[in-house]
Amino acid sequence: MDNTGDSRRPIPTAPMAQSSELNAAPGGGPSLLFGKLDDMVSRVAAAADAARRFLFSQQHEEGYWCGELEADTTLESDYILLHTLLGTGNPERIRKAANCILKHQNEDGGWSIYLGGPSNVSASVKAYFGLKLAGYKADHPALEKARRKILELGGVTQVNTFTKIYLCFFGQYDYMSVPAVPPEIVLFPNWFWFNIFEISSWSRGILVPLSIAYAKKPFKKILPEMGVDELFVHGKSKKHMRLPWAKTLVSWRNFFLVVDRVTHWLEAVHIRPLRSIAIRAAEEWILERFEGSDGLAAIYPAMMNSIIALRCLGYSLDDPQMIRALDEFEALGIEEQDTFRMQPCKSPVWDTAYALFALGESGVPRSEVRLAAAADWMLRKQVTRSGDWAVKNGRANPGGWYFEFNNEFYPDVDDTAMVLLALAQVDHPDEGYLHKSVERAKEWVLSMQCKNGGWASFDKNNNRMVFQYVPFADHNAMLDPPTVDVTGRVLEMLATSDGTRQRAAVKRAIKFIQHEQEPDGSWFGRWGVNYIYGTMQVLRGLRAIGEDPREAYIQQAAEWLRMVQNSDGGWGESCESYDDPNKKGVGTSTPSQTAWAVLGLLAAGDTRSDSLARGIAYLLRTQGKNGNWEEPHCTGTGFPRVFYLKYHLYRTYFPLLALTSYAKAMAEAEREMASR
């Protein structure tokens, strides 16, 4: 189904760019846009064909796609830390992981969490400690530079909770000075105001095993020269290690800090009557979620913490559960000639759905055997058992999809909607089976709609914002509230079927989207960087579901996209926009973000503006000979302000989708003109 909306509506468009503007090529090179429409169409078609061939070349023989998922050096640092703690690991891999860390050191001596970003104190302390554990000495030039920068950033006491607890494992921080993560939280009933199902799914996966480690307080003795005493600005003073009180006496932060101090005091005087019961419950919770998944929650930090928790509980290294957990953890690694890096997880369902969708939209026949293979692979991944989502949505039947190879407790709405969009591009030989799977998934997605009309990722109504003030919530991802980017994708998906029975849900979703729009017309992007992504997702959803693109709020969003276009014709936005909204839409042009902007403009009815034409010219000009594009920057978001992602296939399937969507829109515009 063509999700570009009702093309019969007359849509106001910006003036057609003059051919002289289109022909101007940066650097005086040959023109890529072309005064003649036929030439433009042929060039776009050739570029799309090359991108299709490249994308098909990346398909696995089993039918799926899975591009590398790249993050920052905290993963390599933690990899070294974990194996040092366990007394395991391949020395050659440790050496290569250290090389990878050094390779990404900033000029100022620190380490950032995204390319071109400022040095981050937590990432820098982890890197410094990881290098020391790998055998580097304090007088190494790289460590000397790092030490100066870390002290400038405030030293070890400024790092986040997870880093502090990891340092405690080696005697480098005081357990009594870190935020308490008591395992008793697992015992809180689901009806209680605070329980583990009131925090995000990924936080549960990270914190439950970490609570076991916090309770058991493991200690690994290391050589004094491996320590980080030199990174404490005021020395190892407990006064300076503890979290500071908020200036406002009566505040949620101070309330939770009081609870934290009381918890520490009770532990100090050994008043913890439920501790053994809580640890056992946490262990059972972890082991239950090992089943049907590639490690706990199938994400790096949860997998790492679960390994530490099992070891704290007395599991030997040759225990089947430990062997399995370690094997799944190591499978995230990518080893090259002289470097070793870790992925935060793997993204086969997401990549396969988007690749199939882009290929289908680009004109690959619905009967193409390679598309059918991808559809078959995805259909086998549909979840048919209840998971954590069912705690708040117990009446719904399962039917979603997850992100990774195996993660049955954690299907998510965004992946499910994308899979359904992809399946709509394929003629499956077993139509009954396909229809049943699709309908089951749509019912599940509709059941996950939140009270305010939006959709979140993994849970329903997971939005008690007060919990962001909990002391151990400084990873900035304690909750999973509804977001406009997920909601926009759901609307686009719902447009693929009869919308009569979902009309009320759509109206509520549109109202949510309108409420969340920024004053300048843009929308925040939770899962992609950032406002360009959010705006594109909303505009595509609104157009697909039948909203009139002439609506003022839609045209305002399109005008914002045109306003933030770069002089080279592309669009870019740095992860910095999560820290400073004044930087929204500002950054080096990238293929994926340019494609997002093009898709957003097209969804808003813009088929003729100079801005659109220059965006297409950018994609044509930057395409490589192999049909792919280069993209060094992170354009994916894990946790805003904390953790970012570089999807290696974003630079392929998004430009392909943009080019072919543009070609369709141009062809439709020509048909309309011819019929007048």
Of 333, 318, 327, the closest CA to residue 290 belongs to 327
**Residue 296 DSSP one-character state:** G
The angle, 0 to 180 degrees and rounded to 10, between the axes of the packed helices 300-312 and 74-86 is 10
**Maximum pairwise Cα distance, the chain:** 85
Rounded CA separation 259/141 (Å): 43
Q: Using DSSP, state whether 8 is helix, strand or coil.
A: coil
Whether the ω angle into residue 256 lies within 30 degrees of 0, i.e. cis, is no
Catalytic one of 72, 294, 388, 414: 414
Q: Using DSSP, state whether 572 is helix, strand or coil.
A: coil
108 assigned to active site: no
Q: Using DSSP, state whether 396 is helix, strand or coil.
A: coil
Rounded CA separation 668/665 (Å): 5
Query: For residue 223, how many other CB atoms are within 10 A of its CB?
Result: 8
Q: Is 125 exposed, middle or buried (0-12, 13-18, 19+ CB in 10 A)?
A: buried
Structure-block tokens of residue 520: 């300048």
The angle, 0 to 180 degrees and rounded to 10, between the axes of the packed helices 413-423 and 348-361 is 30
Q: What is the DSSP string of 622-669?
A: H--TTS-----S--EEEETTTEEEEETTHHHHHHHHHHHHHHHHHHHH
Q: Could you give the C-alpha distances from 364 to 99, 591, 655, in angstroms and in order?
A: 43, 22, 16
Structure-block tokens of residue 62: 């089993």
With a CB cutoff of 8 Å and minimum separation 6, the contacts of 245 are 253, 254, 257
- The gap between the terminal CA atoms of the chain, to the nearest Å, is 25
Of 652, 650, 642, 531, the closest CA to residue 72 belongs to 642
Which phi and psi (to 5°) does residue 333 adopt?
Answer: -80, 150
Q: Are 663 and 3 in contact (CB under 8 A)?
A: no
Q: Which residues are catalytic?
A: 414
